[in-house]
Structure 1
Amino acid sequence: MKELPLFPLHAVLFPGGELRLRVFEPRYLSMVRDCTAGNRVFGVCQIADGHEVGVPATPASFGTTAQIVDFNVDPQGILGIVVEGVQRFHVKQVRIRDTGMVVADVDLFEDEPSTLRAEHSLLASLLDKILEQAGGKHAKAPARLFDSACWVGYRLAELLPLDNDQRQGLLQCACPHQRLSMLLQWVPKLTRE
């Protein structure tokens, strides 16, 4: 069990994924300072109830640890950070500090290396085509990653036009093959829309 500061958002972050965030509330500025100084991670969770700004939101029960990989200040003086997802976690207990910062005791999960199964090979091909068109961080990924059930599932969960509840369900799914099977069921519906 580990204690993490949480950044509840109307977004779902996956391991290996990337998010760009604007940070302006004092509680999050303090969190960014502490994480940067100590080279520590924080947790990103989808908001189960509430809003991103103001009163602390209720986080979903699963999230992903986030490592700050870059930062900048925009012309209005607002801090921007780029975070990369590291590891899935399950929230066990949530507390709100007097600063309004949400912290949680979490169990961290290690993804087991798992090779893509033949019935999911179509998804690896689809991902390759999407990345070829979309570009971005994973556009020139080595071929070996397309054999990883976890990596293919996470990237498709980020890139396909899913709603955040669908993404949250995929994040919570412990088995990478089950995650891919869910995606395989949704792909025909997504391509028709």
Structure 2
Amino acid sequence: MTERLPIFPLNAVLYPGLVLPLHVFEERYRRLVADLLAEPEGRPRRFGVLAIKDGREVAPVTEDGGTAGPLDGLGTETGDPLEALYHIGCVADVASVTPQQDGRYELLVTGTTRFRLRAVDTAGPYLVGQCEPIAEQPGNGAGALAGGVERAFRTYQKRLAGARQSSLAGEQELPDDPQVLSYLVAAAAVLEVPVKQRLLACADTTERLAAELDLLRRETALLNWLPSVPAVDLTRQQFSPN
């Protein structure tokens, strides 16, 4: 069964359980937010987030409060959203909306359920997708892999902090649930969007954890050789188990 959802193309990947701030500045997405706010009280305010394969349309808020500008046509010659967007995304529930005087919005959203884009309607002011939910599967051996991923992630964090000549603000408590851990690590690791997208699209938790274990070991080894590699501050990552 599919559900019609407004689509937010992003130059980032949203994961279930993770919190993401968004700065909405382009007119078509202001309209989307306004339509969500006009929904009757009690109805869920949500949309689908899909990563863009090439180019940027709406950007998450950066550490300095800035955002990337829009790119018309979603970065393709044809402007076909089905070609420009990855087809597996995450539903975003709107936790808070702060209107700005100039008509922009500051949003705080939480990722909930993965979905597969089956079709897209381009007739309106913004994209609307036919979205099919993807059930979460644990796979075989997720629990056994989780411990190794946790250890590798802590080592990775320490190497990354050392590369930035900074210190971690205490040891981060990591979730016990292998599925939740897999999404937190995917969100927190400093990886390119295509790699993050592959982690989102993994068939089950075991596959995601196995991929993360290889990635963390590779990235940690790279940081040992290149200690000046720039990266975001992992201690600022926001996470929600909901």
Cα distance in 2 between the residues matched to 1:54 and 1:119: 40
CA pair 160-51 structure 1, distance change in 2 beyond 3 A: closer
Aligned length: 185
Q: Deviations over 1:35-57 (max 9, x none)?
A: 23342310000012443125352
| 8 Å Cα contact 2:97/2:106 also seen in 1 | yes
Instruction: Measure how far apart 1:126 and its partner are.
Output: 4.6
RMSD: 2.7
Secondary structure of residue in 2 paired with 1:169: helix
Structure 1's unaligned 5+ residue stretches are: none
Q: Which has the larger radius of gyration?
A: 2
Identical aligned residues as a percent? 28
Q: Verify: 1:173 aligned to 2:208, yes or no.
A: no
TM-score with structure 2 setting the length: 0.67
**Paired AA for residue 129 in structure 2:** A
| 8 Å Cα contact 2:52/2:85 also seen in 1 | yes
Secondary structure of residue in 2 paired with 1:16: coil
CA pair 173-160 structure 1, distance change in 2 beyond 3 A: same
| 8 Å Cα contact 1:45/1:63 also seen in 2 | yes
Q: Verify: 1:108 aligned to 2:133, yes or no.
A: yes
CA pair 69-177 structure 1, distance change in 2 beyond 3 A: same
Q: 1:117 aligns with which of 130, 138, 143?
A: 143
CA pair 56-6 structure 1, distance change in 2 beyond 3 A: farther
Structure 2's unaligned 5+ residue stretches are: 58-69, 75-83, 158-166, 223-242
CA pair 162-64 structure 1, distance change in 2 beyond 3 A: same
Which residue in the other structure is 1:47 paired with?
52
Cα distance in 2 between the residues matched to 1:20 and 1:29: 15
Moved more, 104-113 or 66-75: 66-75
Which residue in the other structure is 1:34 paired with?
35
TM-score with structure 1 setting the length: 0.83
| 8 Å Cα contact 1:50/1:56 also seen in 2 | no
Task: Tell me which protein shows more strand as a share of its residues.
Answer: 1
Which residue in the other structure is 1:133 paired with?
168
CA pair 32-66 structure 1, distance change in 2 beyond 3 A: same
| 8 Å Cα contact 2:152/2:213 also seen in 1 | no
Which residue in the other structure is 1:188 paired with?
217
| 8 Å Cα contact 1:120/1:184 also seen in 2 | no
Which residue in the other structure is 2:66 paired with?
none
